[in-house]
């Protein structure tokens, strides 16, 4: 068991500090400039994290309670440590936003728990697409997210945004084409909205009775299952992931959306303009009050 002082020290070392009254925390992971050996093309992930950081501050998130892992900081070890530190020291009932901007892929299911025989994985900075052990699979990520929800308790809220696509391999942008984001997302196999606990990222879902002890969560992704995601530009020509830009524009226009479903509807409207060829997806407690407000 961690003593209070040990927990405080760990929290500070990890980049998180004592929560303000609203207990709002954020973890932003942005990997745009992978090493050549990764097999991933560059994307404008840093633009995403900067835009999201600015928005969160405007929405009352204390910058001291927000951590950004950018490029070389977002190694597999760095991501693991960030999730671990956050899970250890989150106050019960906190509101947490986790944003991922980077690449990913699908690979053969290694424990026969996927109906389609494929695992989804995100590609950390030091990962290699052809080396499964260097990736972060959905099973592992699902356990981390479950741990966060348990720490948060039923009064807590967890909002996740994955600005990436669901594809069988890392997309390569060709001359004259838009920049592709090759992250495998398996949120819903038939619709843009899925029940809580049905995505690959939360496949360790608990029983209904145990679910009542966990924090509320909503997971938004840039595409439906099988779609590719491509970057878009704002009015000034700056490149972003479409989900990030759409979510920030929607949240800025309606600071208190009421429910996650209402927020998702606003994101869909923005996405239809920014990336009409993509359908964002939602999973989780859609009718819960947005971040508990």
**Annotated catalytic sites, by residue?**
103, 165
Q: How far apart are CA 127 and CA 94, in angstroms?
A: 31
Contact between 281 and 221 under an 8 Å Cβ cutoff? The reply is yes
SS3 at position 160: strand
CB 138 within 8 A of CB 203: yes
Q: How many helices (H) and strands (E) in the chain?
A: 7, 14
Which residue shows structure tokens 């600015």?
A: 54
Residues 6+ apart with CB under 8 A from 77: none
**Residue 172, C-beta contacts closer than 8 angstroms, at least 6 positions apart:** 41, 180
The closest alpha carbon to 215, from 98, 59, 120, belongs to 98
Query: What is the number of other CB atoms lying within 10 angstroms of the CB of residue 195?
Result: 12
CA gap 281, 290 in Å, rounded? 16
Q: Which of 194, 210, 187 is nearest to 261 (CA)?
A: 194
Q: Residue 219 in contact with residue 282, Cβ under 8 Å?
A: yes
Q: Do 282 and 269 form a contact (C-beta atoms < 8 A)?
A: no
Rounded CA separation 67/279 (Å): 29
Local structure of 142: helix, strand or coil: helix
């Amino acid at each position: 068991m961690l003593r209070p002082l040990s927990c405080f020290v760990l929290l500070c070392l990890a980049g998180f500090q004592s929560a303000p009254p609203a207990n709002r925390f954020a973890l932003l992971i942005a990997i745009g400039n992978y090493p050549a050996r990764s097999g991933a093309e560059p994307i404008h992930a840093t633009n995403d994290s900067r835009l999201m950081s600015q928005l969160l501050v405007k929405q009352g998130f204390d910058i001291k309670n927000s951590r950004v892992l950018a490029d070389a900081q977002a190694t597999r070890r760095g991501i693991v440590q960030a999730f671990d530190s956050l899970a250890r020291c989150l106050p019960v009932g906190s509101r947490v936003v986790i944003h991922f901007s980077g690449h990913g892929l699908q690979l053969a299911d290694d424990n026969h728990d996927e109906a389609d025989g494929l695992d989804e994985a995100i590609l950390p900075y030091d990962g290699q697409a052809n080396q499964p052990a260097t990736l972060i699979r959905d099973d592992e990520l699902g356990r981390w997210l479950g741990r966060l929800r348990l720490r948060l308790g039923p009064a807590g809220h967890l909002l996740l945004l994955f600005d990436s696509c669901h594809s069988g391999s890392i997309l390569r942008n060709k001359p004259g084409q838009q920049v592709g984001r090759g992250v495998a997302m398996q949120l819903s196999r038939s619709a843009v909205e899925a029940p809580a606990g049905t995505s690959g990222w939360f496949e360790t879902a608990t029983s209904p009775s145990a679910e009542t002890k966990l924090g509320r969560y909503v997971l938004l992704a840039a595409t439906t299952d099988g779609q590719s995601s491509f970057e878009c530009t704002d009015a000034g020509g700056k490149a972003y992931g479409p989900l990030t830009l759409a979510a920030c524009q929607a949240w800025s226009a309606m600071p208190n959306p009421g429910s996650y479903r209402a927020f998702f509807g606003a994101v869909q409207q923005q996405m239809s303009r920014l990336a009409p060829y993509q359908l964002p997806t939602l999973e989780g407690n859609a009718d819960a009050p947005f971040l508990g407000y």
